[in-house]
Amino acid sequence: MKDMGIRETEKGYGIVNTIFYKWKRIYLEEGIERLSIVRRGRASKNDGALKGKPINLGAKVEEDLIVENQRLRMENNYLKKLAALIQE
């Protein structure tokens, strides 16, 4: 059975032809390890971002996000310390 063509494999295992093309696309785009993942339903609109493709942000936007992240971390630490002092 190892030298079966697509049509023989379809008949032998009862697999629909479109599945082979889907598996081929996954193999070529994502690699053999991604074939073992169980996929159900439609792909989400954000799948492109989840495939490891970097999101292209401008330098200014990236810098603003870093500053905001630092500010939020400081605020979070302040609130934790305040809550600890109130409990004492």
Q: How far apart are the first and last CA of the chain?
A: 74
pLDDT band at 1 (very low <50, low <70, confident <90, very high): very low
**Statement: the pTM of the whole predicted model exceeds 0.85:** no
Q: For 28-76, how does the pLDDT look when each residue is reduced to its tens digit (9 = 90+)?
A: 888 877 777 766 667 666 655 555 556 677 888 888 989 999 999 999 9
Q: What is the pLDDT of residue 72?
A: 95
31 φψ region: left (φ > 0), alpha (ψ -120 to 50), beta (else): left
Tokens of 66: 């870093």
Q: What is the pLDDT of residue 25?
A: 81
Q: How far is the CA of 43 from the CAs of 18, 23, 30, 40, 63, in angstroms?
A: 16, 15, 15, 8, 32
Strands, DSSP E only, in 1-88?
none
Quote the DSSP letter at residue 45.
T
- Alpha helices, DSSP H, located in the chain: 6-13, 17-30, 47-50, 59-87
